[in-house]
Each structure stands twice: as structure tokens, then as C-alpha cells.
Amino acid sequence: MVSGARTSALDLASLHDEVLRWYAVSSRDLPWREPSCSPWGVLLSEVMSQQTPLARVEPIWREWMARWPTPADLARESPGEVVRAWGRLGYPRRALRLHEAATVIAQRHDGEVPRDQTELRALPGIGDYTAAAVAAFAFGDRSVVVDTNVRRVQARLVTGLAQASPAMTRAEVALAEDLLPDDDEDAATWNVAVMELGALVCTARAPRCEECPVSARCAWVLGGRPAYDGPPRRGQKWHGTDRQVRGIIVQALRESTEPVRREALAPGRDEVQVDRCLAGLVEDGLVEPVGAEHYALPGREEAAG
């Protein structure tokens, strides 16, 4: 059970019922939530949606599932083509890690996404969160799934804070575990229901408390919705950063069927920064030098003229 003075009054049975009933009628219709979706489809959705809005993820996810419906299908593709198909989802290293994970699944797990969380975490690019999410959403197993949305809902509902701390704490994970319903199937649904509540209603900047199914028991609402007064929450810069330049370089290579000359990769950008970004992309395996002056996505065999 949930412990602590601030949580002792929670009626978990009613809380679970209210959130699960809300999710049943208010959740978004997403293809990876369909009962027919394979564990591979769930794994793809979880990796693709990290730090990326679901509206951008869904069309790419559908393309990937049509093109590579199994891990073995993706493993047979060249890494460069996988990066090209990643489009503008951002953080293209995720595409390479998915390709590597698919290769491991095909070679070591008979082409089937493993169910065990330890085996899931052993896959390239799969951390604690993704392993727990795949176990819950693909297999219906009992696991603790804690993302940014879950942390924010818990902070408001239970602890009465406007926002969660900048970094996840052990206490938040322990609280998420204590809040799980006893029934394993309900626990799996609860995980995604709380995530959905945070994404659609209990949002970071403009929470719609009037639409929340549990606002009457929310410690933050009952406390007068006090402003966040914790450690500063710094947003990520974008314009002019190495991350932006790396994205420009990778996009230029995606759009070309031939290796691209170095000066055409990010024209107008500081050359020292471009060289630094190129070196990092090569080290990460996202870009390959072709001859002395050209670059291409990995796994391509064309030679520069």
C-alpha cells in the first residue's frame, strides 16, 4: 500500500476505477494500442516516441511496420536505409539502435521480442523505461512504467507539487509501484492510463483540471494549485547548437541518392562546428566518409566520383 502522511488518505480502489474508466472512453486511438499489435510494433512505438510527439510518430511507425513487420525484416536492411526512413523523428541514433536491437532479436531470440525485462534491457538502446513499457504494453506483464507524464501526475495527485523534480528519484519509482492495482491486467492498463492522463489533461503548462477524473482527490488542486518552487527547469536550446547542425547534416544525406560533398552538407554554418559534428556523427555510426571529401549514410556502397 501507499505509505506516508500525504498519501495515507488515498482510496486506491476508487482511484483506480476513476482513472481506468476515464481511459476507456478518453484515450487516443493509436495503432500500437490495438490488441492485434505485435510486441515488435509496441517496441518500435516506445523507441520512436521518446522525446517525440505521437502525432509525428504515428505515420513513421505505420511506414516501418508496413516495410519491416518483424525484427528480422529490419535486421536485413542496411543501416543507412534505416536512418533514411527515420525521417524527422529526431535523435537518429535511435534508428541505429533499433536496427542493432532487431539484429540481436533475430539472431538470439528466434526473431521474437523477448518478454523478460532483463533480456529486454540487454538489447541495444533499450533502457529500464522501455523494457518496462514493452513488458506491460506488449505482454500485459506487471511492471512499473514511469515517464515524464506519470511523474507529473503523481507529483500533483499525491504530493501536491506543481511539477516533478528535474530528475527522476527512487521515491517516484517506489510511489508508482505502490499505486499499481493488484490485478496484473489492470496494472498494465493503469500504466498507460496515467501516462495518457498526463499527456491529455494533466499537462505541464496548461492543466485542464476541470476535465480530470480525479481532480476532487488531487492534493495539488486541493492545496490551491501552488506554483512550482523547486530547482530550475531549464529548457533545451536548439538553434545554433551542435544538435541542430547534426540534424541538418543527416537530413542532407537522407535527401541524396549519392554521397554528398562536405561543403554541401551544412552550407553557411561555421566550419569548425560542422567538422566537429561530422566527427561525432562518424563516431556514432550515423555517417560514413566516402573518399576524402564525401559523406553518406552508413551501409552504402556508392563511391564518390
Tell me the DSSP string of 171-190: HHHHHHHHHS-SSHHHHHHH
Nearest by Cα to 96 from 74, 63, 114: 74
Task: Tell me how far apart the alpha carbons of residues 193 and 23 are, in angstroms, rounded to a whole number.
Answer: 5
The rounded distance, in Å, linking the Cα atoms of 200 and 65 is: 26
Q: Which of 137, 148, 134 is nearest to 190 (CA)?
A: 137
The catalytic position among 34, 46, 63, 301 is 46
Backbone angles phi, psi at 67, to 5 degrees: -85, -40
58 is catalytic: no
The span from the CA of 1 to the CA of 181, in Å, is: 10
Dihedral sign from CA coordinates of 96, 167, 211, 12: positive
| Count of other CB atoms within 10 angstroms of residue 21 | 12
Q: How many residues does the chain have?
A: 305
Number of C-beta neighbours around residue 144 at 10 A? 21
Active-site annotation, residues: 46
